[in-house]
Each structure stands twice: as C-alpha cells, then as structure tokens.
Amino acid sequence: MKKGEIFTLRKDRKEEAVRSDVMASEREYRWTVCAVIVLLIGLCAAHMTDRPASSHPHRKTSVLKMDEASLSVTNEIENDMMLYVVSDHCYKCLPQLLGIIPARPASGTPTTVGFVVGTQHALTLQLNSTSANLEQCKVNFLFGEQGNYSLWVKNLNEPSLVSCSMITDSEPINSYLPILFAFLVFALLAALSAVWNTVKRLDVVTNLLLCLGSTVETERLINSELGTPNRLVDASMESIIPATTGRRLRSLDTFRGLALVIMVFVNYGGGRYWFFRHESWNGLTVADLVFPWFVFIMGTSIGLSLSGSLRRGVKRTHLLWKIFWRSLQLFLIGVIIVNPNYCQGPLSWDSLRIPGVLQRLGFTYLVVAILDLVVARDRLTNLSSETCWYSVHDVCLYWPAWLFVIAFETIWLCLTFLLPVPDCPTGYLGPGGIGDFGQYQNCTGGAAGYIDRWLLGNNHIYQTPSSRVVYQSVMPFDPEGVLGSINSVLMAFLGLQAGKILLHYRDQHRQIITRFLIWGFILGIISAVLTKCSRNDGFIPVNKNLWSLSYVTTLSCLAFVALVVFYYLVDVKKWWSGTPFFYPGMNSILVYVGHEVFEEYFPFRWKMANNQSHAEHLAQNLVATSIWVIIAYLLYRKKIFWKI
C-alpha cells in the first residue's frame, strides 16, 4: 500500500472515530434528557397528590404551611383554660404555653380559639386552669399535615372532672406520596438500565448492533461503563490505586459517591422532610449518616494511597509536604464556602465562621495521614497464615498509631466529662434551652460548646444550630467544632483500618469480608453499651452535634457493614458497576464545592409556584442532585478530575 493511501486510510478512521464519539455523546445526552423528563413527570404527578382535596370545604390549608395543622380548642367550662404543648421528641422539656381559651359565658355558647400546631412529631397537649394552674386534662396526638382538628373541653358528671376529646374535622394530606412517586421513578430508571445492560450482551443484540452501527460505536456500547466495570487507567488517579492489587476499588468510590449524593440532597433541603434534616439533638436521621461515612472512606483511601506511594519509592518528606498542602487547601476552601458573602467582596472577620465540613476534613486528613505516614511500611510484611498472630497482624503492625488514637480519645473523654464549665454541670451533654426542664438554658453542648466559644468566640461559630428547632436553645453552637474533631480523627482512623485490611488480605475476599463484619460487630456492641440501646438514657447518647463517641462507633459499625455490601456486589461478584454513585465518588471535591457555590442558581433552584409544598421542594432537590450526578458522569467521560 502506498504512503498516500495509508495516510488517507488513517484519516478516514480518525474521522469515523470522531463521528462515533459525536454519536455516543448525542446518545448520552438523549438518555439524560429522557431520564430528567421522566423524573419531572413523576414528580409532577406526585405534586398533584400533595395538594389538599377539594372535597373538604372547611379545610384551612391556604393559611397553613408545611408540617402544620389547624387545631380549634372549644371550651365548654366556665373557667379560663391555658393550653400547653410539648413535643414527644423533646427530652425532659417543660410544656410551653400555646395560648389561653376564655371561659364559656354563664348563659352563652362555648368559646373556641384556633391554633397552629406542628406535625413532624407527636405532641402532648395539656390544659390547665388559670386560677390554680393545675392540670385538668392531657392528650397525646400525632397531627397530620394540613389537617383540621378540634379539641373539646367539657365537664363530666362532676364539675371538678374535665374531659378532653380530639375530633378530626378534615383529613390531612398524605405528604409522603411524593417520596413514593420519586422512588418509583428512580426504580423504573434503574430497572431500564439493568435490562439494557443485560440485553446488550446477548449474541443476537450484539450481532444486530454490528449490523446497524459502526464497529467503533458498537464496541463502545458493548463495553459501556454503564455495564461491567472496566479497569481505570487514568494516570491522574494513580496516587490512590493500591499497588498490591494494581487496580482501583470501585466499591470505595461507589460508597463515597452514595454518601456525597445523599449529602448534596439533604443540603439542598431534602424535600423539607424532617428525616432528611439533621437531628435536633440526640438520635439519628438520614442526614446524620453521610458526613461520617465520607470521613470513614477518606481514612480508607489514605491507607491505600500512602501505601501505594511508598511502594513506588516516593519519599516520605515529599508525601508529608503534600499532606500539609492538601490539608491547608481544604481548610481555606472550607472557610470561603461556609461564609456566604464570598461573592460580595472581602470576608468580614467580625462574623467569619471558622469551623466547617471541609475544615474538619482538612484537620482529620492531616492527623490521620501523618499518623499513617509515620507507621506505614515501605513493603508489606508477608506473614504465613500459620503465624499465631496472623489474624490480627493488620492491627499489631501499627500498634504505635493505635496508642496515639487511644490517647487522643482519652483527651476527648477527659475534656468532655471533667472540664469545669461555668454555670453548667460537669459532664453535661444536653442541648440547653428548654431541655432538662429549663435548668441549663445556656449550656448547649457542655464542654464542646464552651471550648468553641472560648477559643473561637461566639461570632466565629455556627449561629443557628439544629437544637433551636425543638429545644429553643439560644447559644451559638458549631457541629464541626474543635472537640468533636477528635472523634472525627477516630472515625477516619477506623476507616484507615479498613484500608489496612484490604492491603494485608488482598484478593482474599472471604478474609476481608469476615474482618469487616467482625469490626462492625465489635463497634456495634460498644455502641449498645454506651447508649444502653436508647436514644437519650445511655452513658453517651448518639449525637451528631457533639460527634459523641457512640455516634462514631455506631456510624463506623454501619460503614463496615455497608462496605461489605458494596465490596461484595461491586468488586467481588461484579454484579453492579456502582452506577450512578461511582461517578460523583470520583470527583467528590468538585461536586461538593460546586453544589455549595451554585446552590442558589438555576437550574439547581428556581421560583416555585407553591413553596409550602413538599412535592415541589422534593422535585427541585432531586433534580438539582441528579444534575450533579450527570455533571460528574460527563466529567468522568472526559477524564476530568479535580484533585487537591
């Protein structure tokens, strides 16, 4: 073949490849648009179900907001009554005065007064007489959103006996139907994707694709990343590829991506459902799971990354410099992100919030990475399985690091339970406000809050903590404060231990899964002892605001169990490629920073027709989160990764 013909042939092949790539991109965009349209249709249908029915002419939904109901109290007694209310979710809280219901006139009709009550949790209503402020009757009831209710107060046979009866005047709406519709839409998309991945591997379909499309395009469809995971060969990501396995564990990126997607969703509002918001104080919601899991996976990645770098011959001094630089970058980006006036000029020091999510990640990464760099070995020790301590050598080989972490945790325990806090009981872990019967209103967070206010000042920490929602606390308190960062280090170190298991028992799937489950069981037992299997009555309750020890052990237990599931499905059996969570997991910093910066911009947020509708908020938040997943996918296809 002549030289000119060879050149022409190469040019034709190049043009064919370009055309195939264009076709592939167009097909990807079409699938994306179709998916978003299906999502919007489903959520619009859910919005219709979220509207109050027109068959109830007396319903007052026009004046009610989300998570509110209308309560009319009718007094048939010839005494003024005081209505108190307290949420069942509020631990050891004093009832709060809601209003006064005047007495019925001696020869008149009963007096009726209307109130608005919350519907997120069950409420205890208590009616007291105004004369002696004595309890007359008490009712515990869970109100439905935008329902109308009547509470009738009347005398029984004896004048001193009072009866209270609750009547439902009009049924509430089912505010959870939008979640059901959204779940069905995403389940349908997942099912269609799974069917396509199965069908396209059939010989008949493969031959049909060969006949209908170009060879390059057909091969791309058959070997699509939406199907069986392929080995990632991007050189920019080699720093976190375990040198022992020669490949990147997709399960880690999938787990990280899942945590990140949920984090984005709850940060955007989570449809304004209470269980997609952070718990007011003790306890767990969906929103409380994701940040610790992100920290856990960061610890796992540290172990794999540093081990691979050392075995490639990278000097420890060079790695130490990279650790410092990355931590500083995370901290500085975090300070800019959590202070919302970064687009309006220089940040004001007077109200600059210093702690934050990325700041805590930076500090945690600094401590755990340096700790691992000190104890990590250039070459893994190959022990015989007959060695007596083989089953625990992934712990024993790094005993200095364990001593440091135990000492670090001892500092947290001593400061939390022994540090004197002015005007507060020693070892106080409560929310302050109306909690603990209002005895310690200004003691929010105990030692943790006191240390933050002493070191950083009231103006440089979070001003509206979640404890204000239920406990009406008035003190600033930062959930990413100084004392809680110690337990964040513990969380990342437990994730580092997961990385050590992956390194020392590489390719021994049964050993890895068994050890993950053992760690989950041990941490679960510790959590059960610390909490006494209760929300509020344990030695150390599960508390995200404090990042309590039981919070770390509980979430680490769940992380080990979740990692077993992801590892088995994605890396062992390869039944699932990790799609779609794998893609945001590969670009986690970009997605996190991007969703914070562009939160108020279209298409992530738009003006709603009814901003008191769960369905519209859910649609907006799901679309915004889905867009970030699509962006992460497109960046992955273009091999664009933002690393710090």
Between CA 359 and CA 366 the distance in angstroms is 11
Between CA 296 and CA 556 the distance in angstroms is 7
What's 602's DSSP letter? T
Between CA 558 and CA 524 the distance in angstroms is 8
Instruction: Catalytic residue, from 47, 89, 278, 460: name it.
Output: 278
Between CA 580 and CA 261 the distance in angstroms is 10
Inter-residue contact 435 to 90 (CB < 8 Å): yes
Active site residue 393: no
The single-letter code of the amino acid at 155 is N
Between CA 158 and CA 136 the distance in angstroms is 13
Between CA 596 and CA 589 the distance in angstroms is 11
Across the beta sheet with 111-118, the strand order is 111-118, 68-75, 148-155, 162-170
Inter-residue contact 479 to 544 (CB < 8 Å): yes
Give the residue from 140, 108, 56 showing the smallest Cα distance to 151: 140
Inter-residue contact 589 to 583 (CB < 8 Å): no
Q: At what angle do helices 549-566 and 250-267 cross, to 10 degrees?
A: 130
Inter-residue contact 326 to 240 (CB < 8 Å): no
Inter-residue contact 401 to 375 (CB < 8 Å): yes
Between CA 216 and CA 17 the distance in angstroms is 7
Give the residue from 38, 44, 35, 39 showing the smallest Cα distance to 610: 44
Q: Which two tokens mark 487?
A: 């337990």
Tell me the torsion sign for CA atoms 499, 503, 507, 510.
negative
Give the residue from 553, 551, 558, 577 showing the smallest Cα distance to 516: 558
Give the residue from 489, 504, 483, 494 showing the smallest Cα distance to 526: 494
Q: How would you classify residue 44: left for phi > 0, otherwise alpha for psi between -120 and 50, otherwise beta? A: alpha
Which helix (DSSP H) or strand (DSSP E) does residue 502 occupy?
helix 482-504
Inter-residue contact 485 to 292 (CB < 8 Å): no
Q: Which two tokens mark 143?
A: 């109100």
DSSP string, 425-462: -TT--S--TTGGGGTTTT-TTTHHHHHHHHHT-GGGS-
| 264 class by beta-carbon count within 10 Å (0-12 exposed, 13-18 middle, 19+ buried) | buried
Longest dimension (CA), the chain: 115
Which residue matches tokens 């027709």? 609
Q: Which two tokens mark 514?
A: 């068994």
Helices (H), 505-541: 509-531
Give the residue from 171, 265, 263, 181 showing the smallest Cα distance to 615: 181
DSSP string, 65-94: -TTEEEEEEEE-SSS-EEEEEEETTSTT--
Q: Which residues are catalytic?
A: 278
